[in-house]
């Protein structure tokens, strides 16, 4: 991480555009990244555009907002492909394993993953890989890394715990 914190998130792209609000989701949800300074978390270290807009409160008041340095790691543009339940685990200081579920507007579809390199001011995203088994991610539990393996725990049928192991050797 060096001089900053790596922040991975799920959001709508473009963000802050209220003209796209039309229900539960304004645009398909994608994975974004931003690096912020350890010394001052208001200081953005990643390269990316500055976007302005705002949001409305429950009382109808509008508040202006600005984002800077966001890098989008996925670019899904179909409402049948929305990122959900994003999980991150560091492989090294500047390499990160990301895993997430893909949902349409009604149900789970599949689970995907990628390796992201954040050693430069622009993140280098790896290929998105789909898992052939319906590996479901728990909302609250994070993956665990032990050496070159990542373990994911999930509740299974009949009160059992399912354990999934993903080898990251060579990444």
pTM exceeds 0.75 for this model: yes
pLDDT score at 169:
83
pLDDT score at 1:
53
Q: Kindly list the distances between the CA atom of residue 8 and the CA atoms of 27, 58, 68, 98, in Å, as whole numbers in the listed order.
A: 18, 27, 14, 9
DSSP 137-163: PPSSPPPEEETTEEEEEEE-GGG-EEE
pLDDT score at 4:
87
Domain range summary for the chain, segments of one domain joined by +:
4-132
Dump pLDDT digits (tens) for 102-156: 999 999 999 999 999 988 877 888 899 999 888 889 888 889 999 999 999 887 7
Tokens of 66: 């600005």
- Helices and strands, counts by H and E, the chain: 0, 13
Tokens of 12: 């709508």
Q: Please, what is the average pLDDT of the chain?
A: 88
Residue from 143, 148, 151, 137 nearest 170 by CA: 148
Dump pLDDT digits (tens) for 68-99: 999 999 999 998 999 999 999 999 888 999 99
């Amino acid at each position: 991480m060096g001089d900053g914190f790596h922040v991975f998130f799920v959001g709508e792209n473009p963000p802050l555009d209220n003209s796209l609000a039309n229900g539960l989701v304004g645009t398909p949800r994608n994975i974004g990244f931003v690096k912020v300074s350890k010394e001052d978390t208001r200081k953005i270290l990643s390269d990316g555009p500055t976007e302005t807009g705002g949001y409305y409160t429950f009382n109808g008041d509008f508040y202006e907002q600005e984002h800077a340095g966001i890098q989008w790691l996925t670019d899904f543009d179909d409402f049948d492909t929305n990122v959900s339940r994003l999980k991150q685990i560091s492989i090294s200081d500047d390499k990160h394993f990301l895993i997430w579920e893909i949902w349409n507007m009604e149900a789970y579809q599949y689970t995907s993953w990628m390796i992201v390199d954040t050693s430069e001011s622009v993140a280098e995203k790896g290929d998105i890989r789909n898992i052939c088994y319906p590996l479901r991610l728990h909302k609250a539990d994070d993956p665990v890394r032990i050496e070159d393996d990542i373990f994911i725990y999930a509740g299974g049928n009949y009160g059992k715990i399912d354990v999934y192991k993903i080898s990251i050797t060579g990444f």
